[in-house]
Amino acid sequence: MTGSVGDAEDIVQDAFLGFAKAHRAGTEIAAPKAYLTTSVTRLGINHLSSARVRRETYVGEWLPEPVVVSGERPGPAEHAELADSLSMAFLVLLEALSPVERAVFMLREVFGYEYPQVARSTGKSEANCRQIFARARKRIAAGGPPPPARRAEGEELARAFFEAAEGGEMDALLDMLAPDVVYHGDGGGKARAVARSVTEPRRVGQLLIGGLRRLRSLGASLRPTRVNGRPGALIVDAEGRVASVVELDIADGVVRAVHTVSNPDKLGHLGPVSDIGRLPEK
Question: 88-99, pLDDT tens digit by residue?
Answer: 888 888 888 999
Model pLDDT, residue 9: 93
Residue 223 pLDDT > 60, yes or no? yes
The SS3 call for residue 224 is strand
For range 99-121, the mean pLDDT: 94
For range 178-207, the mean pLDDT: 94
Angle ∠(49,8,112) on CA atoms, nearest 5: 85
Residue 87 banded pLDDT, cuts 50, 70, 90 = confident
Q: Note whether 123 and 100 are within 8 A (CB).
A: no
Residue 171 pLDDT > 90, yes or no? yes
d(CA 84, CA 98): 20
Buried b / exposed e over 4-28, threshold 16 CB at 10 Å, is bbebbeebeeebeeebeeeeeeeee
Model pLDDT, residue 253: 92
Angle ∠(129,65,208) on CA atoms, nearest 5: 125
For range 13-35, the mean pLDDT: 94
d(CA 10, CA 16): 10
225, β-bridge pairs = 232
pTM of the model: 0.86
Tens of pLDDT, residues 233-266: 999 999 999 999 999 999 889 999 999 999 999 9
Residue 132 pLDDT > 60, yes or no? yes
Phi, psi of 120 (to 5 degrees): -65, -40
Percentage of residues of the chain with pLDDT beyond 70: 91
Residue 13 pLDDT > 80, yes or no? yes
Where is pLDDT greater, at 143 or 132?
132
First to last CA, the chain: 32
Residue 227 pLDDT > 60, yes or no? yes
Neighbours of 221 (CB within 10 A): 16
d(CA 184, CA 207): 11
Residue 75 pLDDT > 60, yes or no? no
d(CA 4, CA 95): 12
Which residues have CB under 8 Å from 54's CB, separation 6+?
A: none
d(CA 261, CA 194): 11
- Of 179, 97, 103, 192, nearest to 138 (Cα)? 97
Pick the most confident of 53-57, 115-119, 135-139: 115-119
Q: Note whether 42 and 107 are within 8 A (CB).
A: no
d(CA 90, CA 114): 22
Residue 278 pLDDT > 90, yes or no? no
Mean pLDDT of the chain: 89
For range 7-30, the mean pLDDT: 94
